[in-house]
A and B are shown apart, each in its own frame.
Chain A
């Protein structure tokens, strides 16, 4: 009975939950249970070392450190139910901190000898407990989140667990480039294939012909059916490996705007997979939404499709997609809606008088929107002569107002801070934009830097991208000359300290600053985004997405080069938490917010969040050191 209770508890507590049942049961036999009344000093700094690893069953402890050479005692950490203490002195032979019970606390004690055995038989346990690495446990964490979510029924995880090789059709229809269209069509009908592979003289694949190519090119364009198939095939062939997860293939198809890809095995083409295959598999795939969007010719038709697209998030979560992939898909779909509205606007207002570039800003620019947030956009147009100026400005005024209203109709709320192209300030010729950035960088003030951050994460979404790159180059050249600008970014970054106290006693939560829960966006997402931005700008990188920025910083010379894996995992994790939280609210018809409560988190989630906070703290300390002359 006592053992059952302990096993039940430990099977929910990392890292013990990763041990097999019989081992856990055997481990429980060696446990003792201790009671520490509130206020008890369990371990003294520089006192006797711990003889046990203590696993908290109820209550909580505070860990404090008295700096060497005197000074005030500082709180290093709080530990609570499901967490452990005593490990460092158990392994290191020196008690470096003082540990006090902040509530009446009961703990299971694992004796040193038994712990040592465990360390030898399961090195992963120590590794976990030492909390050096975040990434190793990423999969377990996301698996656990998926397992417990109330809204995830026992649906198949095909889209994300299946490899594309499992669902692709083998090519049976292979034709040569000079085969006639008629001949090819006949063979496809006879062999009941929806696609044919077109090969060159030496059998190398040069194109694919699908049913939809027939509709779009042969029928719609009235191509003579006695012409060679090479005239209507899709080429070049976009191929994926048969081991790629279906999800990645879908993303690739979205990005390349194609409805089929060739599937290869060890480089050789083996089959084809089409959007239709995913539809059959899925019922509703992101590709289907993208097609729906593409087919719309009016704003009235687009609006309901766009609003419905949010339901794809449920499918993706059910499928166990990684959070960073989910937000990428959301961005892809949102981009399509925006491009469609731009297309309608050009039709409505007539062709633009000069080239322009539509910019997505902030989270939309970084492709990190969770649920549809408000519009954050801007427009750059080519410089015009004095005479033209008024006419061009008037055109883009009408154009951007159409955009703002059209996007509102499609479910993107207007930006309350008016960071929209429809605001004349943010719809300017390139020379004006360059002046903006020059001012932000060369004469930074805290407010100006804070306000301008959203613009540093811009991404060209439509139109003449050269304008966007010109602007990026412009400010990229300026930044090294004005160190105070990065100093301001650093300053802002270190001021948003992670709330480790969030994990402290329940009492703190009930009355303190976290009584409404933790603002995940401000306290967890924003610092990680800010870290990636600071170092990307410092190194003059072109990337905009947080993940892309981190990837580009890997192995470089920045202060965070060796922490890239941990940062990427932390970002993945907090994004997933946020997407889940908001999706749950969406499903329940509640307003969407960023406040999460400790109660709703599993032990593993809490620990992952805590690790993310510790990582942010660590980087903040490094930033503070590097930019000390700018830190106010």
Chain B
């Protein structure tokens, strides 16, 4: 397999995809809520997502689905998510939600904060129901943050003295309003606004195409990016 064909297969899109400028890309910014962090035991209980065309967030046509989980919620997660087991009973099962989400995200680049966690669960459930895993290009806002932190020293938000800042640490640093009650769609909206603030900074740093975005926002690079920046900031 040649390099070009390989890239094409990885991106799941046309040959010219890698060169597309960011403004022409379509993104699906997503967040999932989970019963816990253990992929072997825990489940997705909701998916929230929205579309961005280039750097613009679309207010209409959002994706919001609550999932009937396989396992019973324990008290701890109930407190975090504010959802009770009886509320979960009436919801569609994961295979239905997964099918409609796949359709929603088709042909777009996935964006999320600590996206590999969400993708891990989504792909586990896809395998479980014999569906193809998500092949979309994926960009992680935490990876982008780490990469930018090594370059943009002048923005005050990059002096944040945290090894792995949460979505809400970053929202506060970038003055993005956050609603008190968390929901998957609400968090996806915060993530989208964070991504929106990163885009002009990336452009300044010479990252203007899908290929560039994937390189610096690789979900698996978040730890490497952050580690490098830690060294840089004398953490």
Residues of chain A having any CB pair with chain B under 8 Å: 1-3, 6, 28-35, 37, 40, 104, 106, 108-109
Contacts and interface: CB of A to CB of B under 8 A. Distances in A.
Interface stretch (B5-13, B85-93, B138-146, B185-193): B185-193
B82 interface: no
30 contacts: A1-B183, A1-B185, A2-B57, A2-B189, A3-B59, A3-B60, A6-B59, A28-B60, A29-B59, A29-B61, A31-B59, A32-B56, A32-B57, A32-B58, A32-B59, A33-B56, A34-B55, A34-B56, A34-B196, A35-B55, A35-B193, A35-B196, A35-B199, A37-B197, A37-B200, A37-B201, A40-B200, A104-B175, A104-B197, A106-B193
Does more than half of chain B's interface fall in helix, strand or loop, or is it mixed? Answer: mixed
Interface in B33-56: 50, 53, 55-56
Nearest to A36: B200
A610 B172 CA distance: 33
B62 interface: yes
A106 B192 CA distance: 13
Nearest to B176: A106
Given A33-B57, A34-B57, A37-B201, 9 more contacts: A1-B189, A3-B59, A30-B59, A31-B59, A32-B53, A33-B59, A34-B56, A35-B55, A37-B197
Nearest to A40: B200
Contacts of B183: 1
Nearest to A26: B60
Contacts of A108: 59
Nearest to A37: B200
A3 B61 CA distance: 10
B147 to A, nearest CB: 18
A211 B62 CA distance: 73
Interface string B46-85: 0000100101111111100000000000000000000000
Contacts of B62: 1-2
Contacts of A2: 50, 57, 59, 62, 185, 189
Contact of A30 (B60, B179, B186): B60
Sort chain B's interface into a size bin.
20 to 34
Contacts of A1: 62, 179, 183, 185-186, 189
A317 B56 CA distance: 45
Contacts of A33: 56-57, 59, 193, 196
B185 A29 contact: no
Contacts of B201: 37
Interface string B156-178: 00000000000000000001000
B185 A109 contact: no
Most chain A beta carbons < 10 A, residue from B50, B53, B58: B58
Interface of B: 50, 53, 55-62, 175, 179, 183, 185-186, 189, 193, 196-197, 199-201
A28 B59 contact: yes
A277 B105 CA distance: 71
A29 B60 CA distance: 4
Contacts, number: 54
A54 B220 CA distance: 37
Contacts of A6: 59
B31 to A, nearest CB: 12
Contacts of B56: 32-34, 109
Contacts of A34: 55-57, 196
Contacts of B57: 2, 32-34
A465 B182 CA distance: 75
A6 B60 CA distance: 11
Contacts of B61: 29
Nearest to B203: A37
A67 to B, nearest CB: 30
A51 to B, nearest CB: 11
Most chain B beta carbons < 10 A, residue from A3, A33, A104: A33
Contacts of B186: 1
Nearest to A33: B57
A34 B175 CA distance: 15
B1 to A, nearest CB: 39
A453 B58 CA distance: 58
A496 B51 CA distance: 50
A-B pairs, top 7 by smallest CB distance, nearest first, are: A29-B60, A32-B56, A33-B57, A35-B196, A2-B59, A31-B59, A37-B200
Nearest to B60: A29
B98 to A, nearest CB: 22
B26 to A, nearest CB: 12
A31 B60 contact: yes
Nearest to A34: B56
A551 to B, nearest CB: 47
A32 B196 CA distance: 12
Contacts of B53: 32
A39 to B, nearest CB: 10
Contacts of A109: 56
A315 B74 CA distance: 60
A108 B56 CA distance: 9
Contacts of B193: 33, 35, 106
Contacts of B58: 31-32
Most chain B beta carbons < 10 A, residue from A6, A29, A37, A108: A37
A1 B46 CA distance: 15
A30 B183 CA distance: 23
A37 B199 CA distance: 10
A30 B200 CA distance: 24
Most chain A beta carbons < 10 A, residue from B56, B185, B197, B199: B56
Nearest to B181: A1
A416 B196 CA distance: 59
B132 to A, nearest CB: 30
A108 B53 CA distance: 14
A109 B196 CA distance: 15
Contacts of A30: 59-60
A455 to B, nearest CB: 55
Nearest to B196: A35
Contacts of A28: 59-60
Most chain B beta carbons < 10 A, residue from A2, A6, A104: A2
A106 B193 CA distance: 10
A29 B55 CA distance: 17
Nearest to B48: A1
Contact of B197 (A3, A31, A32, A35): A35
A34 B192 CA distance: 11
A564 to B, nearest CB: 43
A623 B216 CA distance: 61
A204 B201 CA distance: 85
A103 B162 CA distance: 26
A37 B179 CA distance: 23
Contacts of A40: 200
Nearest to A57: B177
Contacts of B175: 104
A32 B183 CA distance: 21
B50 to A, nearest CB: 7
Nearest to B155: A37
A489 B101 CA distance: 71
Nearest to B201: A37
A104 B185 CA distance: 24
Contacts of B199: 35
Contacts of A31: 58-60
A34 B61 CA distance: 17
A218 B60 CA distance: 78
A6 B57 CA distance: 12
A372 B44 CA distance: 69
A24 to B, nearest CB: 12
A2 B50 CA distance: 10
Contacts of A35: 55, 193, 196-197, 199-200
A387 B183 CA distance: 95
A6 B193 CA distance: 15
Contacts of A104: 175, 197
A34 B56 CA distance: 5
